Chain A
Amino acid sequence: MKKLLLVMLLMVGVFALSACGDEEVDGKIEVTFWHLSPVGDESYSQVKKIVRDFNNSQDVYYVNEYGFSFWDYWDKLNIAVASNTAPDVGFSTIDDNVHRAQRNVLFNISDFIAADVAAGIETVNTNSFYSNQLGFLTYEDDLYGLPFTATTRMLFYNLDHFAEVGLTADDVPTTWSELQVVAKQLDIVDGNKIERIGFDPTFGQGTYMGYLWQSGLDYFDDELQVTLNTQGHYDVLDWMVTFNNEYSRSQLNSFGEANTILGIDPFAAGRVSMVVGTDGLYQTLLDYDSTMNYAVAPIPVPDEDGVRVNWGSGFSLELYKNGRELDEKAQGAWEFSKYLMSVSIQVEYADAVGWIMGNTEAMDIVAEGNPIITALVEECAYAVDKLFVPYAPAWHAGDWFQYYDQLKAGDATVEDTLKDAIDWYNEKQTNYNATQ
């Protein structure tokens, strides 16, 4: 027994030692990069190649890359940032970049750019990024992240379904009233059971805030006070849940659940003819080997005065301080960031992962000859990100969904939903302020 324990302890020691060995970096400065393509993901080998090419291209820095599944990455990153063990460079989300900038966990990108300019070295060209994204990455006039990718939302419509009822791509709706007319023609109902639905504002990636923006309204005012109390706010929400009023909420819900329960996409499955989707839906259709004829168009607006706008976010490239001041590692991370943001590497990365990249020059190359990507890239210019609200960072998600879901289930009125939501945001704000 004792011998056995001794052997075990020895083996533990061996493991501890073996954990720090095998380096093939010969004197180079090591930089750590975390990304979203884990081993086993189809994109991993290409991302690995991109990093290897960088390492081979120069002899000062050596980048170690580690990929994690999208569903795990954020936990890993948040814990690491909290304990000053974050990677030198990694992906994060654009909309809450300002929070990290405020808390001083990120290196100032503008400083790097200024230093490059002063030294006469080539640096990142911010003119090729979407200005709206740069706005979200700016805190006190300085950049604290680079817009690595962009996302957007558009109306995806099934041309096969259109053809069935004698419609063509020319008939794609541009306003909410046209949307209603077209959608109704595409519905298929068998007795009490909905077989197919033309469109529903609450399906897919349609969001209340997105429809509000299209109507020239907003969720919060400039002081981050919630503003859901006007007739306009009421009307938009009411439109969303009464669009398919001829069906009961339970009919619509069971139709919706039939799609989502097993994690399938209703549009990809041909059960919804038109849906608001992100560029991710394009990827989903590719992944499932879909043979459907479809096209994309800007999301229809409320009326002629409606605003062409959609919710789009993206991943930022950020350089983590980990409690240090500027040093060689940070310089290496910056060199590598410039490489990742360059046109040719952005093209390669887009090819690997299928994202829309933040560099518009690169996307012009990627989109060439592909009408869907071309349209998606064009629409990114109309994308707006959601605000970071310190007292309710998940204001658009959990905080809102708890009331929105009840409304969709038919258990609450539009009026009560808005009133309850306002009360909840106000309570959160009061409680948050009390802790500051």
Chain B
Amino acid sequence: MEVNKNNEKIENNEVEITTNVIQKPFMTRKRKKLIHDIIIHMVLILFGTMFIFPFLWMLTTALKTNSELLQGTDVLFPAVPQWENFRLAIKAVPFFLYIKNSFILVFFAVAGTLFSSTLTAYAFAKLEWPGRDALFVVMLATMMIPMQVLLIPTYIMYAKIGWLGTRLPLIVPFFLGGGSAFYIFLLRQFFKGIPKDLTESAIVDGASHFKIFIKIMLPLTKPALITVTLFTFMFVWNDYFGPLIYLSDPDHLTIALGLRAFQSQYSGRYNLMMAASILTMLPTLLIFFFAQKSFIEGITFSGIKG
């Protein structure tokens, strides 16, 4: 029943697509389903402990005192959890300013990536134009040059056009497909998966490619767009190196870069560092949690003849 409810919700969003398929709930043997679910739960919990382990370790480290840090693996759990560390971590740096700065970069990066990668991916997936396949290989090839050797040339270029110390090197490239070759490739794969019948019938109705792109492609590949958004968000949110080399003004610093102040030359304040890392992970986790909610199986374009 739950499945059906979700179906309706999603279908309401897909305005363009007519749905007249009768959903047949598949619930023949309740007991079989129950056993099946229990097994899946058990498997997921068993392996899940492995995957949650790093996070738990971060948490216990964040709650230790300085002297407990010294004991290393001898002390796994702090005697008295130092929740205070979270407050100290926020107080030690202009935490909310950094968060705001990170959000500014993330906002433009996501907008830019979605803009440039969807359009380009459409060209590679659905249009026939001379040089397309060669350029597709060029695009992949740009990802094969290790970033390190492009670093100084790129930096010199931004220095020459006077963008150092501004946010522009961290924003503009996203609008021009910079660093998003993988997303273009990903979206191309998804666009190619949109059935021909849909686009061709729209063409017969006189729709332009731009209209097909906006009205059919984008709504139908929402899970992929959400994935691209999530990945871009995570990349920009966690990137400290770009902000490090291009920004100088303390008022522009991002959270990933700002947190590095907790590691001094001789001693890391690991407890504060972990506390702050956990706090900065939260937005990513929240976004992931809501993003994955829209991933419900096999319903996006019901109504299409197979």
Interface on A for B, CB 8 Å cutoff? 1, 5, 8, 11-12, 15-16, 19-20, 36, 38-41, 44, 66, 68-72, 75-76, 79-80, 82-85, 258-259, 261-265, 268-269, 280-281, 283-284, 287-290
CB distance from A195 to the nearest CB of B (A): 11
> Contacts A19-B166, A75-B241 known; A40 to B70 CB distance under 8 Å?
no
Give A245 to B168 CA distance when docked, in angstroms: 59
Chain B residues positioned under 8 Å from A287 (CB to CB): 66, 264, 266-267, 269
Question: Counting CB contacts under 8 A, is B115 at the interface?
Answer: yes
B167 and A15 contacting across the interface, CB-CB below 8 Å: yes
Question: Counting CB contacts under 8 A, is B151 at the interface?
Answer: yes
Interface on B for A, CB 8 Å cutoff? 66-67, 69-73, 92-94, 104, 108, 111-112, 115, 151-152, 155-156, 159, 164-168, 171-172, 175, 214, 240-241, 244-245, 248-250, 253, 257-258, 260-270
B171 and A288 contacting across the interface, CB-CB below 8 Å: no
A41 and B267 contacting across the interface, CB-CB below 8 Å: no
B70 and A263 contacting across the interface, CB-CB below 8 Å: no
Q: Which of B73, B93, B155 contacts A79 (CB 8 A)?
A: B155
Q: Which of A68, A259, A283 contacts B72 (CB 8 A)?
A: A259
A38 and B260 contacting across the interface, CB-CB below 8 Å: yes
Q: Which of A11, A68, A283 contacts B266 (CB 8 A)?
A: A283
B245 and A284 contacting across the interface, CB-CB below 8 Å: no
A264 and B156 contacting across the interface, CB-CB below 8 Å: no
Give A75 to B266 CA distance when docked, in angstroms: 18
Give A414 to B58 CA distance when docked, in angstroms: 40
> Contacts A83-B152, A83-B156, A289-B67 known; A284 to B72 CB distance under 8 Å?
no
Chain A residues positioned under 8 Å from B108 (CB to CB): 8, 11-12
CB distance from A354 to the nearest CB of B (A): 8
CB distance from B103 to the nearest CB of A (A): 13
Q: Which of B172, B260, B267 contacts A69 (CB 8 A)?
A: B260
Give A1 to B94 CA distance when docked, in angstroms: 35
Give A1 to B118 CA distance when docked, in angstroms: 13
A75 and B245 contacting across the interface, CB-CB below 8 Å: yes
Chain A residues positioned under 8 Å from B268 (CB to CB): 263
A79 and B250 contacting across the interface, CB-CB below 8 Å: no
Give A77 to B270 CA distance when docked, in angstroms: 26
Give A38 to B269 CA distance when docked, in angstroms: 14
CB distance from B5 to the nearest CB of A (A): 31
CB distance from A280 to the nearest CB of B (A): 4
A280 and B265 contacting across the interface, CB-CB below 8 Å: yes
Q: Which of B70, B240, B253 contacts A288 (CB 8 A)?
A: B70
CB distance from A86 to the nearest CB of B (A): 11
B267 and A283 contacting across the interface, CB-CB below 8 Å: yes
Give A41 to B245 CA distance when docked, in angstroms: 19
